[in-house]
């Protein structure tokens, strides 16, 4: 009987070949970010400066969202907003570590807009402008969430940085498809671009935007699993 | 008994299907040419599970393209066709002096390519799809499927990477972040005539492995990061006739 179960054990072992409580990809996005300097701001992302990012959702996890997302019919965009710098540290005059307020309504939304009859997202220049963010925030809110503990680290001399924070999904027509246990997640991404002094300049960035921004929204895995030895798995059935 | 065997076969089949299911792709809009915004994987040989690398350490990044800009010369490629997949392999080497801890405990910078020590960026069209996804990766690459199942098929584009910088940070809340910024030029492949050899940028998300905030625990041992992002369009070449070119000057 044990031999007959070998293929099942093997399959189970393959299924469990990820670490305990592994995180999971939900969606990926590409776009650009920009900021609005507060009066009296003395440098990039000084206190009270506001940070924005917008662009396109470029892939989704097939398991959680694949059945409900149709990129042939709809355009999917994202917009991060209401992110205001609460405190900032400057290291060596180059390395900016900006911590954002948790009480300013920081939020990230993913939108679904029909390709036929909808409005195509247009970046334009010097945002906010006539098309951005407006053409990135039309259509249905597919998913949205409170974005907090958000922080941007950026090296001005190297023209490169990253952002990260918590993102608890709490709205949108697709929210019903995300198990409650997976709705509190996080958002992570990288920045590179026009502020570059030492790194290569990037001519693809429209005038007035700060950086190229790409990132992922990741969720806690709904079914935590763990590495097991072959012997340990067999022992479970003896 | 037959039912049991069928059940086992079905389970294995389901697992196998899941192992090769790519993220559902979406739009890829100019100035982006190629989107690889799902999970893609970096590892060093010998395996270095951290974000700290030493001079001369070979790094490989393998992944799957989820979409091409439909309005570009590559727009006819369908990254979602069930019969095909478009994969990439980058080969890089840590440049001296290795990872620099630019700010103690806060920022680590590593260069993996330069003009003097270029890396490679190859894109393949493979059929049938066989590149493993996150859940199907085996530990300690190179291993079965990595990088082999990402480098099979037709080499449609190859590029030389002359700049590749990874910066890993740890912010004031203890959350790790990461980015990469790179430039390259296409040099060959069956679709090279459509694209040409001008410089393009690619980047930018670098999620290191580990249990801390901002890191990922989704990868088996031996992988160092999940890599995600896009590559921009180089200034394209445009096919023309001799007569049309002469018309420009009349």
Characterize the bridge pairing of strands B58-64 and B85-93.
antiparallel
Q: Which of B27, B175, B217 sits opposite A164 (nearest CB)?
A: B175
CB contacts under 8 A, B 149-188 vs A, are 163, 165, 167, 169, 171-173, 175-181, 183
Query: Which residues, in sequence order, are CB contacts of B155 under 8 Å at separation 6+?
Result: B122, B123, B124, B188, B189, B190
Q: Which two tokens stand for residue A83?
A: 């992110």
CA distance B228 to chain A (A): 7
Tell me, what's the pLDDT at A11? 44
| CA angle centred on B206, ends B204 and B210, rounded to 5° | 170
DSSP state of A47: T
pLDDT digits (tens, 9 = 90+) for B7-59: 444 444 434 444 444 455 457 888 899 999 999 999 999 888 889 999 999 99
B179, A151: Cβ pair inside 8 Å? no
Characterize the bridge pairing of strands A140-155 and A184-193.
unpaired
A212, B37: Cβ pair inside 8 Å? no
Residue with tokens 């160092």: B224
Q: Which two tokens stand for residue A141?
A: 């809110």
B37, A89: Cβ pair inside 8 Å? no
Mean pLDDT of chain B: 88
Closest-CA residue of A relative to B20 is A62
> What sign has the CA pseudo-torsion A83, A84, A87, A90?
positive
**Residue A3 exposed, middle or buried by CB count within 10 Å (0-12, 13-18, 19+):** exposed
Query: Which residues, in sequence order, are CB contacts of B49 under 8 Å at separation 6+?
Result: B209, B210, B221, B222, B223, B224
pLDDT band, very low/low/confident/very high, at A103 (cuts 50, 70, 90):
very high
pLDDT digits (tens, 9 = 90+) for A178-215: 999 999 999 999 998 776 656 677 888 999 999 999 99
Q: Which two tokens stand for residue B87?
A: 């994969």
Question: Exposure pattern of A24-54 as b/e (b: 16+ CB <10 Å)?
Answer: bbbbbbbbbbbbeeeeebeebbbbbbbbbbb
Query: Could you give the CA distance from residue A107 to residue A80 in angstroms, rounded to a whole number?
Result: 6
pLDDT tops 80 at residue B206: yes
Residue A19 touches partner B, C-beta closer than 8 Å: yes
B228, A215: Cβ pair inside 8 Å? yes
Query: Could you give the CA distance from residue B132 to residue B40 in angstroms, rounded to a whole number?
Result: 10
On chain B, the residues whose CB falls within 8 A of the CB of A162 are 167, 169, 177-179, 205-206
Q: What is the pTM of this model?
A: 0.86
CB atoms within 10 A of CB A197: 11
Tell me, what's the pLDDT at A197? 56
């Amino acid at each position: 009987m044990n031999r007959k179960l070998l293929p099942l054990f093997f399959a189970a072992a393959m299924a469990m070949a990820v670490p305990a409580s592994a995180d999971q990809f939900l969606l990926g996005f590409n776009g650009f970010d920009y900021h609005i300097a507060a009066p009296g701001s003395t440098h990039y992302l000084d206190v009270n400066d506001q940070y924005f990012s917008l662009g396109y959702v470029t892939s989704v996890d097939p398991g959680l969202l694949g059945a409900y997302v149709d990129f042939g019919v709809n355009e999917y965009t994202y917009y991060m907003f209401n992110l205001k710098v609460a405190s900032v540290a400057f290291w060596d005059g180059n390395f900016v570590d900006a911590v954002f307020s948790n009480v300013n309504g920081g939020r990230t939304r993913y939108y679904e807009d029909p390709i036929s009859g909808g409005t195509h997202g247009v970046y334009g220049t010097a945002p906010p402008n006539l098309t951005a963010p407006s053409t990135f925030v039309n259509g249905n809110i597919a998913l949205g969430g409170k974005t907090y503990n958000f922080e941007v680290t950026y090296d001005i001399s190297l023209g490169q940085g990253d952002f990260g924070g918590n993102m608890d999904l709490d709205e949108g027509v697709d929210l019903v498809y995300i198990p409650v246990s997976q709705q509190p997640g996080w958002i992570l991404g990288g920045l590179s671009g026009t502020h570059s002094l030492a790194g290569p300049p990037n001519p693809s960035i429209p005038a007035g935007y700060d950086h190229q921004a790409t990132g992922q929204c990741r969720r806690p895995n709904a079914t935590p699993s763990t590495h097991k030895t072959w012997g340990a798995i067999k022992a479970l059935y003896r | 008994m037959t039912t049991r065997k069928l059940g086992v076969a079905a389970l294995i089949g389901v697992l196998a299907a899941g192992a090769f299911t790519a993220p559902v792709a979406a739009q890829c809009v100019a100035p982006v040419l190629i989107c690889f915004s799902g999970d893609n994987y970096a590892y060093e040989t010998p395996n270095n599970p951290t974000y700290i690398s030493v001079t001369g350490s070979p790094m490989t990044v393998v992944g799957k393209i989820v979409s091409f800009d439909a309005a570009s010369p590559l727009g006819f490629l369908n990254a979602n066709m069930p019969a095909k997949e478009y994969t990439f392999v980058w080969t890089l080497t840590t440049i001296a002096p290795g990872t620099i801890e630019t700010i103690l405990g806060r920022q680590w910078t590593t260069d993996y390519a330069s003009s003097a020590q270029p890396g490679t960026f190859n894109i393949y069209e493979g059929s049938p799809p066989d590149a493993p996804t996150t859940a199907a990766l085996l530990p300690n690459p190179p291993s079965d499927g990595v990088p082999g199942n990402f480098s099979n098929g037709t080499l449609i584009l190859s590029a030389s990477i002359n700049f590749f910088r990874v910066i890993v940070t740890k912010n004031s809340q203890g959350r790790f972040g990461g980015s990469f910024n790179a430039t390259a030029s296409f040099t060959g492949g069956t679709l090279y005539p459509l694209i040409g050899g001008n410089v393009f940028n690619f980047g930018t998300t670098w999620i290191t492995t580990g249990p801390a905030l901002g890191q990922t625990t989704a990868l088996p041992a031996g992988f160092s990061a999940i890599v995600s992002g896009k590559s921009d369009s180089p200034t394209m070449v445009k096919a023309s006739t001799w007569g049309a070119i002469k018309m420009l000057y009349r």
